[in-house]
């Protein structure tokens, strides 16, 4: 199309095409040029962050036809992800999941007539474009649907209309949120990384080459010419770089940020360099810049009512010193979209604030790709403004042009971080209520121990220890001061305070930091406290709050994927598996070991790849080894199917574990430097089983999944092979039958010395722990028993959360030796349930597992788990006819009438029942009766210690 015919606000020019939903894919093209008065290359005017998606719905889409390919080619120039559908129901499901982006949909005439009336009501849908062969026929019904912007018989005018409408979408101005704080800290961390240009560019190009949605010619250009041009030149030239880097910063996409981190640093440093060179020349101390933007009616109404509120720009921000440019190139296109309000942001800036902050600015008109007289001012990331006033602008083209005045600010008010006592019954009930929508409300203020701090205008740090008795303002803790500020600063609108606090203060108004998961809550205010006023106090935080669950004592920060950019990789993934609409399914697929490693290598890390559209149903993944001596497969047709229907396969392919991931865990895990997982050479394992548990309580249909795992392989062999040990109980009703309405139900399991007899005399080294239960689990621990005496916890997950099942890296590795024994305990709470909870694989069933990574690997040794012996069940229930049949036994248990006394008797039974033991690995599994739990000298009970 003729770009000179358009004057608009737009963004960069990457493109992609996909046939499946991609929540994070959206880009923007550059539809606008202005003719330079100097006669040099014309350039686009203003850019906006890409926060939109294109959808194409047509039952007759055929991706092999040339006309379809040509249409896609033209749409690619608009720079957005193009998601295609041939089925209206699937399209509706996709649209209903989109919450943040605005959607533009192209629909065929036949389907449009059916679906447009219903689509019209979807708030995320911006515009509908009917693409048909009979324009006059479809215009009749289309004129009754306000969001239908036109009926077209050719793709070119659709592209022109899309280009104008898309340019009017608003950036999300939601004030400061937790994302702003995270990205500011992340930016600083990026700037401190020692950069290797050659390695960074190679990793960057390799990563985006895998994405299959970046023009190959642009990647080659970056690889070949990156060092030939300055960062601002690359930012302004029409490649995917502009849109991709801003998308990563806006959406906090860690993959994009880390892979483009070198460019973020280069661009920031280039702006900072120009800022120093230009300081005191053409730009006064206080000055104004202008930025045009389109806001929806809803967002605009919120904007009008938030005078004094904050607005942050997380991306690199393009503005102009020429006031005429924004309204001149903004008002006319805005009149074509009746759902948008045209906004001219007038930004008052202070050079002193910019110079003292980490967000400098520079005039870039002379150094960018387009050298003209626009007087563009480019700010680096993380700018914060306070809304001053909103007023209508008289304009002959539209009555929907408004001016919003913003003032740059240099500091904020108080910040608060608290430790919540965790998930009580109320929290858990809230979780259950929200479970069907995949939401989780973590923690709460009641009983929380909170540190509140701020920095005054003189730079002095103020820090207070507070306690919240309920959902109300936390009061100062006057008993003891247990939160201590160490250092802090305010910079460009954000506040950072480093503090320290004991793990356990033995103070009734403090919350211990337990081993396992901890619930953190945080909030911030807009003003500092005035210490000169006795009645001044923190104000209500409103929606400026959040929570995070993390194992503070044992969390290992996952490395960026760029760390492994030069390593070999291989991966195993599902192939568009259609997840059935049932609440729980385990799907198994066999893969052959990679054949391109003739010599033994070590995998040094693995990354679980969870399909972005299926994170709400992928519950956990396990990778197992298939026993080499009994495994014979046809390599051209490897087994795949529901695990329950492949029981023979399960016997030979679930003997030893390779990797495990559960909901809430980090996707990537790096092994310790001395050990790795063996691959290739004479390593005997040639086949592997990938098992994925899909938890689908909403019975969603039409979901196709491509989740799986990737391994990063180093050519340098490490000293040891890693292995896994797993303790706990089996996952059946004989092992786990937990009464309802019980606050604290304990299930113990014992692993005798016979399990460790094959440990090497020099010992094995345990390095991490993965506790695992389902919804009712509250804690999981395993103790090391040596010579009849508990020596220490192998790991004590005393605070466990089903939604955040991390791998816990031990603070100090633990050595195990032949003859060692192990006791594992899982604690459950069923206060929220009226029926018994049985062991099983569904999320609403229960499990008790504690898995440990160790080295060096021992073959045929993985599992040591127990279940209650059938004879114990017969005696306790006084029933012999229905115990041996598992189905009859489960029916018997589910029909018990519960009383508090029976629940107490049930706990006593579990304390004293004989156990049946399953132990071994590979082809060496063994089952035998163990009797009652052996006695041992337990760890001494400790009174509270300040640690």
| Residue predicted with more confidence, 45 or 111 | 111
pLDDT of residue 793: 93
Q: State how far the Cα of 87 lies from the Cα of 504, in Å rounded to an integer.
A: 57
Average pLDDT over residues 409-414: 68
For the cut 60, the answer to whether the pLDDT of residue 702 exceeds it is yes
Which CATH number goes with the domain that contains 681? Answer: 2.60.120.310
Q: How far is CA 906 from CA 155, 722, 781, 912, in A?
A: 71, 40, 21, 10
Confidence of residue 357 (pLDDT cuts 50, 70, 90): low
Range name among 355-359, 390-394, 905-909 with the lowest pLDDT average = 355-359
For the cut 80, the answer to whether the pLDDT of residue 786 exceeds it is yes
pLDDT winner (highest mean) among 84-98, 266-280, 778-792: 778-792
The size of the chain, in residues, is 947
Confidence of residue 353 (pLDDT cuts 50, 70, 90): low
Neighbouring C-alpha atoms within 13 Å toward the C-beta of 250:
26
* DSSP-based helix, strand, coil % in the chain, nearest 5: 25, 30, 45
Q: State how far the Cα of 617 lies from the Cα of 438, in Å rounded to an integer.
A: 9
pLDDT of residue 76: 61
Average pLDDT over residues 94-119: 84
Q: Which residues contact 584 (CB under 8 A, 6 or more apart)?
A: 693, 694, 695, 696, 841, 842, 843
Residues 394 and 453 occupy one common structural domain: no
Average pLDDT over residues 421-448: 47
Residues 578 and 502 occupy one common structural domain: no
Percent of the chain surpassing pLDDT 90 = 29
Residues 398 and 430 occupy one common structural domain: no
Q: What is the pLDDT of residues 24-45, one digit of tens each?
A: 333 333 222 222 223 333 333 3
Residues 523 and 475 occupy one common structural domain: yes
Secondary structure element (H or E) that encloses residue 317, with its range: strand 317-320
For the cut 90, the answer to whether the pLDDT of residue 89 exceeds it is no
- Whether residue 430 is contained in a domain is answered as yes
The β-bridge partners of 703 are 579
- Whether residue 568 is contained in a domain is answered as yes
Residues 816 and 924 occupy one common structural domain: yes
Average pLDDT over residues 304-310: 69
pLDDT of residue 505: 81
Confidence of residue 66 (pLDDT cuts 50, 70, 90): confident
Average pLDDT over residues 168-192: 46
- Whether residue 193 is contained in a domain is answered as no
Q: Which residues span the domain enclosing 332?
A: 286-408
Confidence of residue 316 (pLDDT cuts 50, 70, 90): confident
Average pLDDT over residues 421-447: 45
For the cut 50, the answer to whether the pLDDT of residue 217 exceeds it is yes
- Give yes or no for a contact between 910 and 827, defined as CB atoms under 8 angstroms apart: no
Q: Last residue of a domain, which of 378, 408, 438? A: 408
For the cut 70, the answer to whether the pLDDT of residue 183 exceeds it is no
Residues 429 and 393 occupy one common structural domain: no
Average pLDDT over residues 157-179: 55
Q: State how far the Cα of 661 lies from the Cα of 619, in Å rounded to an integer.
A: 9
Average pLDDT over residues 434-438: 34
Question: Tokens representing 768?
Answer: 């991490």
- Whether residue 693 is contained in a domain is answered as yes
Q: What is the pLDDT of residues 517-528, one digit of tens each?
A: 777 888 887 667
pLDDT winner (highest mean) among 25-39, 302-316, 420-434, 628-642: 628-642
- Whether residue 197 is contained in a domain is answered as no
Which CATH number goes with the domain that contains 494? Answer: 2.60.40.1210
Range name among 5-9, 277-281, 530-534 with the lowest pLDDT average = 5-9
Q: What is the pLDDT of residues 712-733, one digit of tens each?
A: 999 899 999 999 999 999 999 9
Q: What is the pLDDT of residues 256-297, one digit of tens each?
A: 777 888 888 888 889 888 888 887 676 777 888 988 877 777
pLDDT winner (highest mean) among 472-476, 502-506, 701-705, 798-802: 701-705
Question: How many separate domains does the chain show?
Answer: 5
For the cut 50, the answer to whether the pLDDT of residue 943 exceeds it is yes
3-state secondary structure 845-872: CECCEEEEEEECCCCCCCEEEEEECHHH
pLDDT of residue 92: 87
Q: Last residue of a domain, which of 527, 550, 573? A: 550
Range name among 311-325, 571-585, 601-615 with the lowest pLDDT average = 311-325
- Give yes or no for a contact between 36 and 45, defined as CB atoms under 8 angstroms apart: no
Q: What is the pLDDT of residues 672-694, one digit of tens each?
A: 999 999 999 989 899 999 999 99
Mean pLDDT of the residues in the chain: 79
Residues 506 and 521 occupy one common structural domain: yes
For the cut 50, the answer to whether the pLDDT of residue 18 exceeds it is no
For the cut 80, the answer to whether the pLDDT of residue 372 exceeds it is no
- Whether residue 884 is contained in a domain is answered as yes
pLDDT winner (highest mean) among 251-260, 268-277, 308-317: 268-277
- Whether residue 77 is contained in a domain is answered as yes
pLDDT of residue 249: 75
Q: What is the pLDDT of residues 886-934, one digit of tens each?
A: 999 999 999 999 999 999 999 999 999 999 999 887 667 788 999 999 9
Q: State how far the Cα of 164 lies from the Cα of 515, in Å rounded to an integer.
A: 55
pLDDT of residue 731: 92
- Whether residue 572 is contained in a domain is answered as yes
Residues 355 and 424 occupy one common structural domain: no
* Sign (positive or negative) of CA dihedral 885, 886, 891, 897: positive
Which CATH number goes with the domain that contains 763? Answer: 2.60.120.230
Range name among 163-177, 489-503, 585-599, 876-890 with the lowest pLDDT average = 163-177
Residues 472 and 353 occupy one common structural domain: no
Q: How far is CA 650 from CA 606, 642, 659, 707, in A?
A: 23, 11, 16, 20
Residues 712 and 754 occupy one common structural domain: no
Residues 605 and 542 occupy one common structural domain: no
Range name among 166-170, 529-533, 923-927 with the lowest pLDDT average = 166-170
pLDDT of residue 491: 64
Which CATH number goes with the domain that contains 354? Answer: 3.90.176.10
Residues 468 and 389 occupy one common structural domain: no
For the cut 90, the answer to whether the pLDDT of residue 864 exceeds it is yes
Based on the number of CB atoms within 10 Å of its own CB, is 39 exposed (0-12), middle (13-18) or buried (19 or more)?
A: exposed
Q: What is the pLDDT of residues 184-209, one digit of tens each?
A: 545 555 555 555 567 778 878 887 77
Query: With b meaning 16 or more CB within 10 Å and e meaning fewer, what string describes 287-311?
Result: eebbbbbbbbeebbeebeebeebbb
Q: Last residue of a domain, which of 110, 142, 167? A: 167
Range name among 21-25, 287-291, 440-444, 453-457 with the lowest pLDDT average = 21-25
Question: Tokens representing 662?
Answer: 């559960």
Q: How far is CA 631 from CA 638, 669, 685, 900, in A?
A: 11, 29, 10, 51
pLDDT of residue 1: 33
- Give yes or no for a contact between 275 and 362, defined as CB atoms under 8 angstroms apart: yes
For the cut 50, the answer to whether the pLDDT of residue 11 exceeds it is no
């Amino acid at each position: 199309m003729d770009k000179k015919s358009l004057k608009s606000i737009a963004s960069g020019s990457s493109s992609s095409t996909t046939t499946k939903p991609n929540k994070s894919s959206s880009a923007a093209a550059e539809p606008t040029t202005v003719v330079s008065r100097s006669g040099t290359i014309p350039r686009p005017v203003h850019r906006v962050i890409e926060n939109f998606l294109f959808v194409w719905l047509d039952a007759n889409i055929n991706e092999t036809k040339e006309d379809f390919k040509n249409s896609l080619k033209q749409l690619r120039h608009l720079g957005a992800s193009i998601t295609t559908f041939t089925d209206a129901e699937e399209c509706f499901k996709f649209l209903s999941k989109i919450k943040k982006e605005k959607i533009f949909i192209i629909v065929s005439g036949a389907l449009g007539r059916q679906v447009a009336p219903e689509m019209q009501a979807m708030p995320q849908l911006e515009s509908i474009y009917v693409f048909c062969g009979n324009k006059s026929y479809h215009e009749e019904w289309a004129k009754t649907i306000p969001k239908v912007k036109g009926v077209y018989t050719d793709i070119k005018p659709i592209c022109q209309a899309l280009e104008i409408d898309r340019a009017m979408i608003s950036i999300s101005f939601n004030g400061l949120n937790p994302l702003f704080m995270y990205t500011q800290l992340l930016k600083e961390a990026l700037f401190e990384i020692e950069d290797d240009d050659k390695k960074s560019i190679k990793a960057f190009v390799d990563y985006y080459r895998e994405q299959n949605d970046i023009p190959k010619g642009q990647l080659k250009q970056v690889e070949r010419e990156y060092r030939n041009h300055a960062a601002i030149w690359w930012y302004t030239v029409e490649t995917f770089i502009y849109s991709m880097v801003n998308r990563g910063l806006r959406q906090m996409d860690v993959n994009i940020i880390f892979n483009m981190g070198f460019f973020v640093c280069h661009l920031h440093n280039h702006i900072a360099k120009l800022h120093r060179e230009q300081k005191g020349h053409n730009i006064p101390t206080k000055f104004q810049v202008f930025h045009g933007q389109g806001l929806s009616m809803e967002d605009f109404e919120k904007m009008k009512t938030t005078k004094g509120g904050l607005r942050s720009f997380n991306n690199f921000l393009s503005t102009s010193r020429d006031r005429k440019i924004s309204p001149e190139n903004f008002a006319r296109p805005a009149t074509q979209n009746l759902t948008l309000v045209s906004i001219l942001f007038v930004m008052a800036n202070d050079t002193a604030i910019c110079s003292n902050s980490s967000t400098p600015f520079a005039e870039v008109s002379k150094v960018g790709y387009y050298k003209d007289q626009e007087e563009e001012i480019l700010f680096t990331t993380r700018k914060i403004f306070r809304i001053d006033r909103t007023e209508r602008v008289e304009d002959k083209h539209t009555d929907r042009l408004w001016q919003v005045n913003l003032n740059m600010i240099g500091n904020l008010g108080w910040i608060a971080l608290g430790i919540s006592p965790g998930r009580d019954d109320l929290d858990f009930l809230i979780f259950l209520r929200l479970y069907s929508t995949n939401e989780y409300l973590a923690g709460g203020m009641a009983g929380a121990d909170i540190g509140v701090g701020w920095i005054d205008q003189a730079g002095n740090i103020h820090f207070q220890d507070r306690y919240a008795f309920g959902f109300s303002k936390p009061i100062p803790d006057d008993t003891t001061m247990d939160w201590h500020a160490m250092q802090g600063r305010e910079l460009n609108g954000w506040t950072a305070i480093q503090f320290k606090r004991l793990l356990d203060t033995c103070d009734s108004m403090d919350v211990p930091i337990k081993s396992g998961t901890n619930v953190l809550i945080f909030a911030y205010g807009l003003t500092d406290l005035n210490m000169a006023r006795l009645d001044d106090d923190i104000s209500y935080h409103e929606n400026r709050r959040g929570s995070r669950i993390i194992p503070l004592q044992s969390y290992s920060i996952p490395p960026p994927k760029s760390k492994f950019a030069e390593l070999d990789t291989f991966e195993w993934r599902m192939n568009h598996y259609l997840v059935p609409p049932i609440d729980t399914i385990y799907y198994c697929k066999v893969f052959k070991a990679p054949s391109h490693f003739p010599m033994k290598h070590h995998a040094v890390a693995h990354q679980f790849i969870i399909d972005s559209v299926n994170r709400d149903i992928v519950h956990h993944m396990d990778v197992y080894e298939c026993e080499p001596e009994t495994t014979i497969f046809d390599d051209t047709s490897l087994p795949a199917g529901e695990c329950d229907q492949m029981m023979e396969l399960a016997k030979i392919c679930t003997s030893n574990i390779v990797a495990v991931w559960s909901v809430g865990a980090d996707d990537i895990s790096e092994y310790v430097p001395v050990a790795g997982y063996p691959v290739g050479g004479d390593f005997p394992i040639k086949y592997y089983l990938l098992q994925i548990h899909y938890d689908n309580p909403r019975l969603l249909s039409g979901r196709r999944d491509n989740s799986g795992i990737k391994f990063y392989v180093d050519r340098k062999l490490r000293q040891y092979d890693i292995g896994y040990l797993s303790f706990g109980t089996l996952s059946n009703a004989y092992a786990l039958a937990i009464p309802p309405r019980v606050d604290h139900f304990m299930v113990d399991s014992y692993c005798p010395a016979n399990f460790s007899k094959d440990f090497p005399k020099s010992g094995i080294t345990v390095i991490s722990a993965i506790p695992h239960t389902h919804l009712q689990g509250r804690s999981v621990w395993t103790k090391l028993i040596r010579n009849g005496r508990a020596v220490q916890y192998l790991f004590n997950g005393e605070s466990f959360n089903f939604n955040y099942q991390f791998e816990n890296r031990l603070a100090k590795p633990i050595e195990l030796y032949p003859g060692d024994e192990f006791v594992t305990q899982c604690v459950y709470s069923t206060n929220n349930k009226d029926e018994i909870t049985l062991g099983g694989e569904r999320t609403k069933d229960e499990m008790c597992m504690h898995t440990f990574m160790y080295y060096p690997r021992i073959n045929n040794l993985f599992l040591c788990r127990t279940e209650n012996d059938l004879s114990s069940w017969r005696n306790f229930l006084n029933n012999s006819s229905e115990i041996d049949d598992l189905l009859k036994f489960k029916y018997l248990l589910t029909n018990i009438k519960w009383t508090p006394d029976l629940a107490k008797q049930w706990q006593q039974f579990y304390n004293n029942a004989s156990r049946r033991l399953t132990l071994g690995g590979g082809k060496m599994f063994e089952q035998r009766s163990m009797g009652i739990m052996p006695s041992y000298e337990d760890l001494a009970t400790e009174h509270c210690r300040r640690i």
